[in-house]
Amino acid sequence: MHGKSTERMRKVGPYGVETLPQVCAAGSGPAGLAAGSGPAALAAHRGPAASIDVPAAPAVCRGALTERARLHWSLGDGGDPAALAEEFLAAHGLPLHDLTRPSTGQHGTGVCGAALYLSAAAGALLAGAPTGAPEPAPALPDLAVVVYQHGPTPVARPGPPPPWWLGEWVESWTPGQHAAAVDAVRAAIGRGDVYQSNLVGHAAASYTGDPLPALSRLGALPGARYGGVLTGDGWAIGCASPETLVEVTDGQVITRPIKGTRPATATGRAELLASAKERAEHIMIVDLERNDLARIARTGTVTVDELFAVRRWCDLWQAESTVRAAAADGLGLADLLRATCPGGSVTGAPKLAALTQISALEPVGRGASMGALGWVAPGHVDLGLTIRTAAADGQRLHTWAGGGITWDSDAHAEVAEAAAKTTPIRATLAGR
């Protein structure tokens, strides 16, 4: 069993993973502001003055959590990240080997729960697919598990934050290259290789100052169901995702795929509801998610509670469905991750064929995007799919955006849709 911790953790714990009780993490907001820039600013968000703003963490507990143990893992470490996460959590007081057991719902003293982040590349590994092109932000781990306990309320750091400057965004592919990739997917659909593939582009911008306040602002965007941040030494992730990858409560498993986008105007909503292309794209993914849940569900329990409901995120309308199932007896976290990662709405159908095509077409890895990020506790899992997500390393901010490609896709329209999805993220990071 292999795993890595940050250099701040000294005591060797189970499975060779280093842990250090009473260490805080995940800085956000005024309590997390620190002097310095780049790596120094990110490192300063680990310590007694850091506040916790993990996506999907219990609202009553945020601001009263301290870090108890941490695990980092990368593809090069080898092994099974799903099994490693489940075993690490169990070793630190969070057994998740049977999610059919009722949630305790207790938030008193002691261990509360844990943040769990799994990259798109790690999800592809679990699915038995290629893990994609080289990552543009290699400082980010492919798995991070951070266990939290209740502790004293953090104290705000004195002094103003350093000035914030964000440079120009540099795309990893040109609009022409993106359009050519769309055409390549359409050709593959014509050959019968896939029914749909999701293409994702990346951009990066240099910065000076502390990136944590900028990343934290993402969580306040309208519709950010999984708003929040997670940090480590030399990296940070800010999430504004509206999409539920998988949620488990009292043995009920739910996923809420989102496919289909239009401007948030009355005309845009009518166009989305009337679009045969968007509805077909959406229903393909609902069928894929039904199949994913069927792998871990009691026979005959998979249902679609809601189909193609139109909801708003920032200045966009998006179509969302709700798929539900009763968990099979003995379902644990590791099997849940293997069945649902990476999310079907950001891969395509069939999933393995789409992942193989994505790996060949996308110029860089998906980094923090299109993975899983959220909260786990006994009897409860709530992971968002990391769309509308940005990441920081010591030098640059990174964003990703894309969309599902079907036979009816127009290459130029797909390029424009990806730009529309990332515009609110970039504006928020810049402070506009």
What's the pLDDT tens digit per position in 247-276?
A: 999 999 999 999 999 999 999 999 999 999
301 touches 332 (CB < 8 A): no
415 touches 423 (CB < 8 A): no
Please give the average per-residue pLDDT across 44-72, as a whole number.
Answer: 80
Q: Quote the pLDDT of residue 280.
A: 94
3-state helix, strand, coil in the chain (%, to 5): 30, 30, 40
Q: Quote the pLDDT of residue 51.
A: 62
Please give the average per-residue pLDDT across 56-81, as a whole number.
Answer: 93
Beta carbons within 8 Å of 265's beta carbon, 6+ residues apart: none
Active-site hit among 18, 243, 247, 362:
243
Please give the average per-residue pLDDT across 410-430, as a whole number.
Answer: 95
Pairing of the two strands 111-118 and 143-150? antiparallel
Task: Tell which residue, 33, 1, 259, has the closest CA to residue 159.
Answer: 33
Q: Quote the pLDDT of residue 153.
A: 66
CA distance 367 to 346: 13
105: confidence class by pLDDT, cuts 50, 70, 90 = low
35 or 310: which carries more pLDDT confidence? 310
Q: What is the pTM of this model?
A: 0.90
Apex CA 369: angle with CA 367 and CA 372, to 5°?
A: 110
CA 236 to chain centre: 12
The yes-or-no answer on residue 362 being catalytic is no
- In the chain the first and final C-alpha atoms are separated, in Å, by 45
Residue showing tokens 């009780």: 21
Q: Counting beta carbons within 10 angstroms of the beta carbon of residue 367, is it exposed (0 to 12), middle (13 to 18) or buried (19 or more)? A: buried
- CA distances to 11, 60, 148, 260, 374 from 151, rounded to whole Å, are 20, 13, 9, 43, 20
**What is the per-residue burial (b if ≥16 Cβ within 10 Å, else e) of 216-254?**
bbbbebebbbbbbbbbbbbbbbbbbbbbbbbbbeebebb
Model confidence at 215: pLDDT above 80: yes
In the chain, the amino acid numbered 404 is G
Active-site hit among 18, 67, 259, 417:
259
The yes-or-no answer on residue 259 being catalytic is yes
Model confidence at 396: pLDDT above 50: yes
Per DSSP, what are the bridge partners of residue 197?
348, 405
Q: Quote the pLDDT of residue 159.
A: 73
Q: For residue 111, how many other CB atoms are within 10 A of its CB?
A: 17
CA distance 315 to 342: 26
Average pLDDT of the chain, as a whole number: 89
Q: Quote the pLDDT of residue 163.
A: 93
109: confidence class by pLDDT, cuts 50, 70, 90 = low
**What is the per-residue burial (b if ≥16 Cβ within 10 Å, else e) of 273-305?**
eebeebbbbbbbbbebbbbbbbebbbeeebeee
Q: Quote the pLDDT of residue 161.
A: 75
3-class state of residue 143 by DSSP:
strand
306 or 5: which carries more pLDDT confidence? 306
pLDDT (tens digit, 9 = 90+) per residue, 149-178? 988 766 666 677 789 999 999 999 999 999
Topology (CATH level 3) of domain 11-430: Anthranilate synthase (3.60.120)
